[in-house]
Amino acid sequence: MEIVERLLKGDVKALSRLITYIDDGKPEALKAIAELYPYTGKAHIVGFTGAPGVGKSSLINLLIKELRKRGKTVGVVCVDPSSPFTQGAFLGDRIRMVDLSLDDGVFIRSMGSRGSLGGPSRSTRDVVKVLDAFGKDYVIVETVGSGQVDMDIVQVAHTVVIVLAPGLGDSIQALKAGIMEIGDIFVVNKADREDADKTLYEIREMLDLKPVEDGWVPPIIKTTVVDGRGVEELLQAVEQRMEYLKKNNLLVLKMKQMMEAEIMNILKLKLASRVSDLEKTDGVLTEAVAQVGAKQMDPYTAAEKILAKINLKKAV
């Protein structure tokens, strides 16, 4: 495909157009991704998540500037809330990074969450692949942050950064198991606030209770966006995380887990689409709901009957 050839040669317009195809769900996007896939696997994918108001976008903005000082190219995918009318992104995160828009080494794209509660949708995953194939050294994915930490980011990123801030209720979230399981690096942003040390202490207490599975002990870093304090230390931690994965042969395992999760997600989408098609032609779901409602059948048996009517070869 011409768009693939142009993209591999560094054509930014081709990159933008393909991402638009992906966002619009056009069939040619999948063909392009299939051609680009052999060129993926080189970028360090870093996920940023945390509740709204903790300063993720401003922190990422400073981190990108630090990366650019070191000559690294960066792709950014900002998962913004979707418009209920157009399903497009509100672009709030992208606006905060507007001062990077003239940097040729940085490409920023906002994606609508489209019902995914802050997490990476299928289109987000595909855009990450395209930015990787385009040759970006780092691809940063920022989730919406819907009050709870988004768990799916661990299926997309090599390194997950959890951003918290004092005084926003994040200390309570830090006590929840999910956030402790997926975080590779913890950041206490807005560290100039007086209760920053208290938040840091609470995170450290919870990490002490967490079993160390791969030997990596998540660092806790205090940052202040106003003066950039802690940003260089954050970048060092991100680099050390990747070095650790490579040195201990954990990167291959991580990639395998990410690919398995993606294949399973695609299968679920394909299966749901097939059921939807059957509902339009045969009303299988309507019939199943009626039988379950009448207590003539339990939900598990109903699901099995629907599956029996699906041509699974076509589903995948």
Q: Which residue has the higher pLDDT, 84 or 184?
A: 184
Answer whether residue 246 shows pLDDT above 60.
yes
Contacts 24+ apart (CB under 8 A), 271-279: 271/310, 271/315, 273/315, 274/310, 274/311, 274/314, 274/315, 275/306, 275/310, 278/306, 278/309, 278/310
Answer whether residue 233 shows pLDDT above 50.
yes
Give the separation between CA 94 and CA 108, rounded to whole angstroms: 7
Residues 52-63 pLDDT 10s? 888 999 999 999
Counting residues of the chain whose pLDDT is more than 70, the rounded percentage is: 84
Residues 198-223 pLDDT 10s? 989 988 888 888 777 788 999 999 99
Give the separation between CA 142 and CA 55, rounded to whole angstroms: 11
Residues 248-269 pLDDT 10s? 999 999 999 999 999 998 898 8
pLDDT of residue 146: 54
pLDDT of residue 48: 94
Pick one of 1.10.600.10, 3.40.50.10890, 3.40.50.300, 2.60.120.200 as the CATH number of 43-248. Answer: 3.40.50.300
pLDDT of residue 99: 73
pLDDT of residue 114: 54
Residues 62-91 pLDDT 10s? 999 999 999 999 999 988 755 444 444 444
Domain ranges in the chain? 1-39, 43-248, 258-315
Q: Which of 158, 121, 141, 156 is nearest to 50 (CA)?
A: 141
pLDDT of residue 167: 78
Q: What is the mean pLDDT of the chain?
A: 86
Q: Which of 149, 156, 155 is nearest to 186 (CA)?
A: 149
